[in-house]
Amino acid sequence: AQKVTQAQTEISVVEKEDVTLDCVYETRDTTYYLFWYKQPPSGELVFLIRRNSFDEQNEISGRYSWNFQKSTSSFNFTITASQVVDSAVYFCALTPLYSTLTFGKGTMLLVSP
């Protein structure tokens, strides 16, 4: 069985601070996919990134960056120069090949002006 742990339940920062959201996963499969989703107060889960287990390259997209490390089973997400609009709940998720998507409990990020 697979598992995703997001140890940070809630994080509060002030605008323009950098913030890192942690994600640790467990799976016995060698082929798997990792995801990050954002859930603003409206409720809709917004897809941010998808990574497969064979691609450990870090990725940067604007103010967002992701650090995937298989050695520590982690897939951390950093927001640089946070903005109030980044306030949301962020979910990390894992799906081994031929299995279903498992979500972490989520991290609520509150960015204050």
Partner 1 sequence: KAGVTQTPRYLIKTRGQQVTLSCSPISGHRSVSWYQQTPGQGLQFLFEYFSETQRNKGNFPGRFSGRQFSNSRSEMNVSTLELGDSALYLCASSLAAGNRGDTQYFGPGTRLTVL
Interface residues with partner 1 (CB under 8 A)? 31-33, 35, 37, 42-47, 50, 52, 91, 95, 97-106
Closer residue to partner 1 in complex, CB, 37/68: 37
Q: How far apart are CA 89 and CA 44, in angstroms?
A: 11
Judged by CB, which is closer to partner 1: 53, or 82? 53
Those residues whose C-beta lies under 8 Å from the C-beta of residue 67, and which sit 6 or more positions away, are: 58, 74, 75, 76, 77, 78
CB nearer to partner 1: pick between 35 and 75? 35
